[in-house]
Structure 1
């Protein structure tokens, strides 16, 4: 899923695959799962710049999207991210269940990795990020994962969580 990447952009079946190149063009989303969670995030944020964690209620998300969700905690000083919730499809198609683990403790996801850069950019820019990353998990039928990352704030408006949807694109 979120393996260490070589940082270059290339194309698979006409789709740009991001190395360091994260897309903000949501029209490029191929997956109903990523589109659906992105639409939900926009709905719950309303006219605010970002949705808050209190706005997000998993019971209001379409049931077929829930297995594709990851919720990350954001820590500052030093910056780090923890897998708070990992959906069942993400666990199934990853090399293991990362629930409860900090990225700084996972060798291929530490600072400098593609995933770390995407999460950090989401925090710094305080807006959703979209990426399509080469798939690096146990399933041979997948070529890439389509990822959307959306900031969620605490009561003071600081990004404390990142809500993500991951869908796996077949060869």
Structure 2
């Protein structure tokens, strides 16, 4: 179930409808994300979030690895940089994401929205599940869903964001 929807412009011709979704682990449309969310929840135990040491991508289904990303949280000032990006994410962005700052992504409006989402996660340590709907440059309707999960070594501060992204075409 959608909890909020907003729109933003990527370019003069591309408008993105962005919807924050409720995480319902048993929902049929959450199937792609279920293994990672279950793994994260299991490693979290009674804490607000698991630590990075609790997470080993080797424990995840191999089919998820191309869609997996890790984003490091830098301090003073608060900033975010890709530590690891699977091949699917690199392909969609048209570049190797490892080492890239979130604010250096293109297009700039997307980078700013992502930065704001990550800053909010740094404050509340809450998972984020979002859907983006838009028509790309090739006039193909696209749907991008992403699950972002916080990792915290001390249970109070965001250290890394564990991300699973699903990219899909909806047709012409």
TM-score normalized with structure 1 length: 0.77
Which secondary structure does the structure 1 equivalent of 2:119 belong to? helix
Deviations 1:105-138 (A, max 9, x none): 3353589722112212222111101100135777
Contact 1:73 1:162 in 2 (8 A): yes
Contact 2:136 2:142 in 1 (8 A): no
CA spacing shift, 1:132–1:140, aligned 2, 3 Å: same
State how far apart, in whole Å, the 2-side matches of 1:40 and 1:107 are: 31
Whose strand proportion is higher, 1 or 2?
2
Deviations 1:135-158 (A, max 9, x none): 577776561111000000125752
Aligned length: 158
Match of 1:85 in 2: 84
Counterparts of 1:22-101 in structure 2, within 5 Å, are 22-26=20-24, 30-101=29-100
CA spacing shift, 1:153–1:107, aligned 2, 3 Å: same
| Off by >6 Å, runs of 4+ in structure 1 | 136-140
State how far apart, in whole Å, the 2-side matches of 1:139 and 1:58 are: 34
TM-score normalized with structure 2 length: 0.77
Structure of greater Rg: 2
CA spacing shift, 1:47–1:168, aligned 2, 3 Å: same
Contact 2:81 2:99 in 1 (8 A): yes
Pick which of 117-126 and 60-69 moved more. 117-126
State how far apart, in whole Å, the 1-side matches of 2:35 and 2:75 are: 29
Aligned-pair Cα RMSD in Å: 3.0
Structure 2 residue runs of 5 or longer lacking an equivalent are 1-5, 9-15
Match of 1:13 in 2: none
Contact 2:105 2:111 in 1 (8 A): no
Deviations 1:67-123 (A, max 9, x none): 110100011221110000001111122222211111233353589722112212222
Which one has more relative contact order, counting CA pairs under 8 Å at least 6 apart?
1
Contact 1:22 1:118 in 2 (8 A): no
